[in-house]
Each structure stands twice: as structure tokens, then as C-alpha cells.
Chain A
Amino acid sequence: MTDKYLQLVNAGPTRNVAKKLGLPRPAPLRRYATGDPLVTKPVLVLGDSAESDAVSTSLLSWDVEVHRHALADEQLSAIVVLLDELSHPDQLAGHVLEAGAALRDLAPGGQVVTISRPGTDGDAPAVAAARQGVEGFLRSLAHELRAGSTANGIQLADGVPPSSVGAQGALRFLLSGRSAFVDGQFLLVGDETGAIPADWHHPLAGRVAVVTGAARGIGAEIARTLTRDGAKVVAVDVPAAGQALAAVANEVHGTALQLDITRDDAGEQILRHCVDRHGRLDIVVHNAGITRDKLLANMDADRWNSVIGVNISAQLKINEVLLGSEYFTDSPRIVSLASTSGIAGNRGQTNYAASKAGVIGMTRATAPLIAEHGGTINAVAPGFIETEMTARIPFATREVARRLNSLQQGGLPVDVAEAIAFLAAPQAGGINGQFLRVCGQNLVGA
């Protein structure tokens, strides 16, 4: 599962060879560990609205050194560009070009974050052009950045100020090592719900989380990450995976629940286990998923139905039980695993892509239902992640898949887990019904 190429071009004598040959040199990404400072160098905040002061205030309260103008020869951890008051594309130039001039000061592994408004149906044409223009700008900029730096945007629905909980949560996530493999993406903060955690390093303290498919791979990493952030984890997987599941549960000091999530009473069993044993249920991560790849011409009903059954139908049934329960009402969170296959499509994966696109649709439609309880539901769509599954892809295909994104490397399971932990946290309250790609800005699937 190790990326040998990444090691070769970044260390030892092969590093210089790679440099001379002009080979792509993917950078080791800056990843988060509990207690890490948010950033280590100053953050440049560009923008002249009153809102840019609010952003600066947030950053200062997080012990970040804030600059409002670039200083010569000073490295920056991040550049935050306030574009929330744009009303015409002509206004882009000032901020964008100022950010461009500061790019050469951006430290390796740095971030560019835009804060803007999403285009909506009621916008005047010029406003819509300006707002949508930010998306094209940001995504192109993300392609230009090097040395493990990323560019992402926060979109604030009209009326939601940059000082809102959701905006602060999104900004902190994007500036931290938690978002290492998130690149070229926008987080839409739709309203002002949510809460600032008492402890930014343990935002899930006191919360009880269920993770399905937790016996291995990304699921096991989600269990570890949620635990690290303070949650008590109930690890769920099929009975046949019980030995690995028990090991994960014991590692994270949670409980193991051997359960086939396609059983009719799966939702009730999950709910009963959590409430009886841990007194509550706050977070459900629908991670369990299977692939049964085959060209559609060769697809039999078993392959199709098993993938649909596990990847989406089971989630729908479990969600129905959860949303009808009095126990799942204290700012609940659901996070589902989608996939870039569900967005772009993938040869041989009609069933899988249908199920994962289904997850995105389900997420959007469930959002208003869970919002009644102050809750959110979101999806995370991983791109190429280094797992046991992708390790089985033939070497050449795997190498191409790895380099096909702006960071020129595969993500790690922890990158997916970090995005999920963020969306499950109280500070992500304003983000609902969305999907977030964790793909290093993979060229596939826009």
C-alpha cells in the first residue's frame, strides 16, 4: 500500500535524478495529529469587507498570526480571499491578482481558501457570473499549486456571515492537516446552525458514533479518527468479519456489533445497542459498501442487487428508523460514503455507480428531514485511496490512477476519515445535504 514513487522522488539520490528529469514530484502531505497547531506560519487575509475582519478575528482567536497585506519574503501558511461581496466579474481582478502575487510566499503544504457566495436562481446575471466565476478560478488555481498545497472554497448562502459557526468550522478544517487530500472543492454552508466545540482537538467528546463496515480499511480508520476526536464508537460489520471487527473495537475501546446491515431490523438493532449500552446515538457513518464489478452486458441480478442492497437500500432503511426515533434528535449527524465513480461513472461499475450516485441523491433529499432535529446528513466521495482494495489494481493502472490528480498521489484512508469526522462534528452544523470529494482534485468526475 506504500507509494514507492513518492518516496523515491522525495528522498535520497533518486530525488536529484527526478528533479533533473523534470518528473512529477508529489509532495508528502501535511496531516493532522491531535494537538497540532492549526498552522505554523502567518495567514494572509485578503478582502476589504467588514466580513474579512470577522475572519481575521476568528483566526486570531485560534492563535494564528494574521497579515492583511503580504510582506516581502515572508512565508505564509495560507491565503484566505474574501469574495463574498462580489456583484460583477470585473471585481474579481483586485483580490485574485493580489492573491496571485502572494502565491510564491506560500509554504509547502499551504492552503488557499476563498470565501464566496453560491450562485442562486434569483441572482442578477452579473452577480451570478461573478459568483460562478469564483468556482472556475478556484478550481484552476488548485491545479496550479505545487508542493502539496491545496485550494478550496467556502460558499456561504445568502445571509450566512463568515463569522457563523459553519463558516468557522469549514475554514478551520480547510486550513488544518485534516483536509490534506481535499483539493479544488467547495463547502457550502447553508445556515447558521451548529456549535463551536468546547475543545477543538476533541470536537466529538461525549458523542456516540456508529461506523458500519468498520472491520477494515477506511471503516477501521474512521473508527480510529472518530475515537481520536473524542467519540465512543460502535463498530459494525458483518458477522463473518467479526475477528477483525473485534480487534478494531478493542483498539478504539468501543463495542463490536456483528450485524448484516441488510437485515430488516438492522436499524432497530443499531439503535438498541447504542441506547442500551452507551445511553445515546449521535453519529452514524454509513461506510459499509461492496463492489461486484462487471460490464452491464454480463451483469446478473445477484451482482446488481447485492451492491444496491448493501450500498444504498440498507442505508435508506436504517435512516428511516433513525429519523423516526426519539433517541436520534440531539443534533444528529449522518455521513455516507459516496464515490467519484458515482459522479463520473466508471466502466464496469454500473451497479456500483448507481448505488453511489444514489447515496448523493439520498443525502440531498434527507437533509430537510434531519434538519428538523438540528442535524445534518452529508456524503464524502473518495477518489483514489491507498487501500487493500486499490492495492489489487494492476501496477500500471494503479500508477496512472494515483498520478491523475492535482496532488499526484493517492489519498490515505485517514484523509477520508478526517472529512467524515469533520462533517460529524458540531462545527459543521451549517453543512447539510452536500457531498465533499476527497480526491486530491482528481481529473475524473469534475
Chain B
Amino acid sequence: MSSETRAVIVGGNRTPFARAGKHYAEASNQDLLTAAIDGLVARYGLQGQRIGEVAAGAVLKHSRDFNLTREAVLGSALSAETPAYDLQQACATGLETVAGLANKIKLGQIESGIAGGVDSASDAPIAVSEGLRAVLLKLSRARSTKDKLGALSALRPQHLAPSAPNTAEPRTGLSMGEHQAITTAEWGISRAAQDELAAASHHNLAAAYDAGFFDDLVTPYLGLARDANLRADTSIEKLAKLQPVFGTGLSTPATMTAGNSTPLSDGASTVLLGSEEWATRNGLPILAHFVDSEAAAVDFVHGKDGLLMAPAFAVPRLLARNKLSFADFDFFEIHEAFAGTVLASLAAWESEEFCSTRLGLDKALGPIDRSKLNVNGSSLAAGHPFAATGGRIVASLAKLLRQTGKRRGLISVCAAGGQGVTAIVEAA
């Protein structure tokens, strides 16, 4: 992508990620997103400033949160004259907000932006049953007492059972974990390989915290100072003892456990973006450039590809457009929706057959140097508040590039609905 103005990543801020129903059980999406923005404002001294635009979103969203991001801005220390909009692309929401604002900055439409995302599985909206909804709507239209009573008389006890939120795909009825279990089995990913990846995620994240890596990336919230899901003392042996929870109905042995799958979690993240000129003018650091991004989607409905395999298609397109290969990258941030997702993507890129038949390449993309993969931990250890994951990854990778003096990082995030968003971040 050639353009005069580049979009720079100044830094980020997120809350620690909590496990659903625990530390943030009483906090709403708006509370969490406001806290993440306020921490960012404090870190960079943006109080009272008008930011070009704030874009964020949530996956689990109440109807009352129709203007979630703008409301969070109004509740924050930013200038009330800062415009904001909501976006939703399942787990890719956070990365897509970064991409959208970065593009606006590159076009010169805005000079600065805050991208973000939030999700609270604790405070998930609970929909009423279709039966109760029909009764309530009829009741609201009723004018006379007789009509109102008539409407209410249609109410049946079974209508009162709420329609609880779940991660099932509307078109298949299968949960995300069950979808991934099929993919994991198809690619022959072993239990041991998944547990190994999960253990590395915890150990890497714990080491990064101890080294102070997150001191300027995370602001504690409601008494939580580190990601609650983090188990510094976990091991491959401990993980090996867990019972499988997904894929138990498949013909192949079930390999996916609570240990190598991400838990439902709560949290929010933000990323401060700007033009180089804006950052310099305001005395702000420039950690990295947001270079380019590419989305993809797969037809998981008819079983052509796995639900979470879209990044396998987005990455080669992104690489081709930027004339890069895996060898040109120093770090890889592949969102660990499940250990199986990461390993299946790696296997796909290493497969001559997949790369030629499905990606139309001459040869395999090749292996990724595992020592460059998720070096400061990822979703398996940190947790995965859906829309907050992109912001976590972008800010952490930008800081990592700055800290190590390395050149380039690749981000890959899969999302429900068979989608995926990928991006390239380069050192400033």
C-alpha cells in the first residue's frame, strides 16, 4: 500500500481479562470500555482532547447498548466532541476497528483515532423466548384492559424460560468448539501438540508480566491487575489430565479440553492510532505502523472449510499484495481461539496440497518459526473477550517490535460466521 500518510500505532491500553462471572460480573460493556479508554487517556495525557474518531464494538451486546462506543466516550475523560461509532465482526471486531481507523488516517480523513473492543460474557444480554416476545409485543399494542388481559392470557409457563446466549452458529447449530473439533480432527492435530501450545501460551504470558511488559499496556480494573485466566504454573502434564469437552461425538479421539480452548471472558482493549505528524506534534511515542489488512470468509455451512479457517485464506492474499513471505516476519500473532485453530492454520500453510488446490499457490507457504509465534502469550492464557482481542494483539505486537528492534509482525484473527481478519504491522 503506497500512500503519503502512514497510520502509526502510538500505544494501547486494556483491562486485565477476567473469567466470565468473576471479577467483572457486575460491570457492563460500557463500564469496561470506558475504563479502557480512561486508562488510555491517562497514559497519553489526552484529557479533554478531541480525537478524530473512536471505533469499537462488542459481540454480546444489549439492545440498550445501541450507541455503546459513543456512550463510553461521553463517560470518559476525552472531549465530548469526539465522534464514535460501533462495529461488529464477531471476534475480529477489535482488529477491524484498527484497520478501519488506520485507513481513515491514511486517507487523511482523520489525524487520530482510538480503536477498541469490549465483551462481557458475564453481562451477556438474555433474550426472552419467541413466545414471550410475541405476547409482550401484543400487550404493548393493546389499548383496552380487555385486550391487555387477552394478550396476557396467551402467556404459558414455558415462555418464561430465557433464551440463553451461546456460541452456537445459527446456521449449523454447532458450537464454535464443536466446529473446531471437526477441523482439528480433519487436520490430524494431536492432543499433545495442542497442550504444548497452551502451556507455552501461559508460560510466555506469565514471563511477560514478570518482565513488566504489560506495565504500559494494561490498567488494572476492579481489583484485577493481571489476566485472571493466567496459570503461570501450568504444565503439559497438568493439561494432559483434563477431560476432552469438544468433539466427543466424533469418530476420532476427542482432543479439545478446557485447557487448550479459550474460556469465556470479560474485558476491553483500546489502541491509540494517529498520523506520524499528529503523534510527533503531541509528543507521543510511535511504536509501529499499521501497514495493511485483509479479511476472508469461508463456506463452513456446507462443510467446505472449517468455521475458523478463514485466516488461512486471508494471509496468502495479504502476503501477495505486500510481496512478502513468512520469512519476512519476525513475529506471528495468531489468535488462539483454540490451540487446534492455530495448529490447523499452520498445518494448512505447510500443506502442498491445500496451498495449491485451495489457495492457488505454486507451492506451500511453508512453516512458521515457532519461536516467533505468540511470544508474549495469547488468548489461551490471557482469555478472549471476543471484540477485545484485536486491540490486545495490535498494541502488544507494536510494543514488542519497538522493544526488540525487530521489523515486522503478522496478525491473524479468526471469527464466528466463518470469517477472519489479518494484518501486517511494521516497526516505525
Give the interface of A toward B (CB within 8 A): 235, 239-243, 245-247, 249-250, 253-260, 263, 276-279
Verify if B225 is at the interface (C-beta below 8 Å from A): yes
Verify if B44 is at the interface (C-beta below 8 Å from A): yes
Contacts of A245 in B (CB 8 A): 42, 219
A-B contact pairs, 13 of them (CB 8 A): A239-B215, A243-B35, A243-B39, A243-B222, A246-B38, A254-B45, A255-B42, A256-B39, A256-B43, A257-B216, A263-B212, A277-B45, A277-B285
Most buried by B among A250, A254, A279: A250
Contacts of B44 in A (CB 8 A): 255, 277
A260 touches B39 (CB 8 A): no
CB within 8 Å of A: which B62-121 residues: 77
Which of these, B41, B42, B220, contacts A240 with CB under 8 Å?
B220
How many Å lie between the Cα of A86 and that of B77 in the bound state?
A: 58
A250 touches B220 (CB 8 A): no
B42 touches A278 (CB 8 A): no
Contacts of A239 in B (CB 8 A): 212, 214-215, 218, 220, 225
Closest to B220 in A: A242
Count of inter-chain pairs, beta carbons less than 8 A: 68
A243 touches B219 (CB 8 A): yes
A258 touches B215 (CB 8 A): yes
Contacts of A276 in B (CB 8 A): 283, 285
* Binding site secondary structure of chain A: helix
A259 touches B215 (CB 8 A): yes
Contacts of B45 in A (CB 8 A): 249, 253-255, 277
Verify if B161 is at the interface (C-beta below 8 Å from A): no
Most buried by A among B42, B214, B220, B221: B42
Verify if B154 is at the interface (C-beta below 8 Å from A): no
Closest to B219 in A: A242
How many Å lie between the Cα of A235 and that of B215 in the bound state?
A: 14
B47 touches A253 (CB 8 A): yes
A259 to chain B, nearest CB (A): 6
Verify if B48 is at the interface (C-beta below 8 Å from A): yes
Cβ contacts B44-63/A at 8 Å (1 or 0 each): 11011000000000000000
Give the interface of B toward A (CB within 8 A): 35, 38-39, 41-45, 47-48, 77, 212, 214-216, 218-222, 225, 283-285
Closest to A254 in B: B45
A243 touches B43 (CB 8 A): no
Most buried by A among B48, B215, B222: B215
* A246-B39 contact, Cβ under 8 Å, with A240-B220, A258-B219: yes
How many Å lie between the Cα of A257 and that of B35 in the bound state?
A: 16
Which of these, B219, B222, B284, contacts A246 with CB under 8 Å?
B219
Contacts of A279 in B (CB 8 A): 283
A57 to chain B, nearest CB (A): 42
A288 to chain B, nearest CB (A): 15
Contacts of B43 in A (CB 8 A): 246, 249, 255-256
A242-B220, A260-B212 given; 11 more Cβ-contact pairs under 8 Å:
A239-B214, A242-B218, A243-B39, A243-B221, A246-B43, A249-B42, A250-B42, A255-B42, A277-B44, A277-B284, A278-B283
The 4 closest A-B pairs by CB, nearest first: A246-B42, A249-B42, A256-B42, A250-B77
How many Å lie between the Cα of A59 and that of B219 in the bound state?
A: 49
A242 touches B48 (CB 8 A): no
* A250-B41 contact, Cβ under 8 Å, with A242-B220, A243-B35, A277-B284: yes
A279 to chain B, nearest CB (A): 7
Contacts of B220 in A (CB 8 A): 239-243
How many Å lie between the Cα of A279 and that of B39 in the bound state?
A: 22
A393 to chain B, nearest CB (A): 24
A118 to chain B, nearest CB (A): 43
How many Å lie between the Cα of A253 and that of B49 in the bound state?
A: 10
A275 to chain B, nearest CB (A): 10
A253 touches B48 (CB 8 A): yes
B376 to chain A, nearest CB (A): 15
Contacts of A247 in B (CB 8 A): 38, 42
How many Å lie between the Cα of A254 and that of B225 in the bound state?
A: 22
Contacts of A242 in B (CB 8 A): 39, 218-220, 225
A250 touches B47 (CB 8 A): yes
